């Protein structure tokens, strides 16, 4: 069962996971033992803000930057982070 990500949770890349740019495509990728995940733009924008910010702060930062609706954005961000969490690519503190 996926766990609900709390507003105050601080998502971070899991231990052993690296976020970097794939110079062959210019896209962002997550690298981890025995695996590579190519990120879509949304996931990349979210993950680049997972640097100690809480879930709420990440949503607010994105809403400001893209001038979008906070509630709708929060749902998207939660969905993306839940997926990454289930794949053990991020951890929550």
Partner 1 sequence: MTPPRPYALLAELTYRCPLHCPYCSNPAVASAVRSGDRARQPTSALRIAHATAKDGELTTDEWKSVIRDAATLGVLQIGFSGGEPLARRDLAELVHAAREANLYTNLITSGIGFDDDRIGALRDAGLDSVQLSFQSDDADLADEIAGARAHRRKLDVAAKIRAAGIPLSLNFVIHRRNIDRLPEMIELSEMLGAERVELANVQFYGWAFLNRAALLPTQEQVTRAREIAMEAKARLAGKIDIFYVLPDYYETRPKPCLNGWGQRYLTVNPIGDVLPCPTASSAIPDLRFENVRRRALDWIWRESESFNRFRGTSWMPEPCRSCPQNEIDFGGCRCQAALLTGNAANTDPVCTLSQNRARVDAVLRDINASTPKAFGADWTYRVNPKTLKS
DSSP letter for each residue of 39-85: PPHHHHHHHTTTTT--HHHHHHHHHHHHT--HHHHHHHHHHHHHHHH
Tell which one of 23, 26, 41, 67 touches partner 1 (CB under 8 A). 23
Q: Give the range of 4-12, 20-28, 41-49, 50-58 binding partner 1 by CB under 8 A.
A: 20-28
47 to 86, contacts with partner 1 by CB under 8 A? none
Tell which one of 34, 41, 71, 93 touches partner 1 (CB under 8 A). 34
């Amino acid at each position: 069962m996926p766990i609900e990500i709390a507003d105050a949770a601080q998502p971070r890349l899991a231990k052993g996971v690296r976020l970097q740019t794939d110079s062959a495509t210019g896209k962002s990728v997550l690298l981890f033992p025995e695996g590579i995940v190519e990120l879509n733009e949304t996931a990349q924008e979210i993950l680049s803000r997972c640097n100690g910010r809480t879930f709420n702060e990440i949503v607010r930062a994105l809403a400001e930057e893209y001038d979008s609706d906070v509630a709708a954005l929060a749902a998207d961000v939660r969905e993306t982070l839940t997926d990454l969490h289930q794949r053990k690519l991020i951890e929550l503190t």
